[in-house]
Amino acid sequence: MCNTWANLERDCLTCKKCSLCETRTNVVFGEGNINSKVMLIGEGPGKEEDLQGRPFVGRSGKLLDKMLEKVGLSRQKNIYIANIVKCRPPQNRDPLPGEQNECMNWLRSQFTIINPKIIVALGRIAAARVIKPDLKITKEHGIIYKKKDIFMMAVFHPAALLRDQSKISFAEQDFAKLKHLIDKNISYS
Ligand code: URA
- Report helix, strand or coil for 40: strand
Å from CA of 189 to ligand 1 middle: 31
Cβ-proximal residues to 156 (8 Å cutoff; 6+ apart), any chain: 122, 123, 137, 141, 167, 170, 171, 174
pLDDT at 2: 66
pLDDT at 1: 57
The residue-averaged pLDDT of 76-103 equals: 97
Q: Rounded to 5 degrees, what angle do the CA atoms 174, 179, 183 make? A: 150
pLDDT over 90, % of the chain: 96
The residue-averaged pLDDT of 126-133 equals: 98
pLDDT at 81: 98
In the structure, what pLDDT confidence band is assigned to residue 157 with cuts at 50, 70 and 90? very high
Residue 189 has pLDDT above 60, yes or no: no
Distance (Å, rounded) from C-alpha 105 to C-alpha 107? 5
HSE value, Cβ hemisphere, 13 Å, CA-based, for 122: 28
Mean pLDDT estimate for the chain: 96
Nearest ligand 1 atom to the CA of 81 is 6
The residue-averaged pLDDT of 53-66 equals: 98
What is the tens place of the pLDDT at every residue in 36-53? 999 999 999 999 999 999
- Ligand 1-lining residues (CB < 6 angstroms): 28, 42-46, 49, 55-56, 60-61, 83, 122
* Element spanning 17, H or E: none
Residue closest to 69 by CA, chosen among 186, 175, 164, 180 = 175
Residue 16 has pLDDT above 70, yes or no: yes
> For ligand 1, atom 7, which residue shows the shortest CA distance?
56
User: Does 5-184 carry CATH code 3.40.470.10?
Assistant: yes
- Report helix, strand or coil for 173: helix
Domain ranges of the chain: 5-184
Residue closest to 36 by CA, chosen among 102, 81, 80 = 80
Distance (Å, rounded) from C-alpha 171 to C-alpha 63? 11
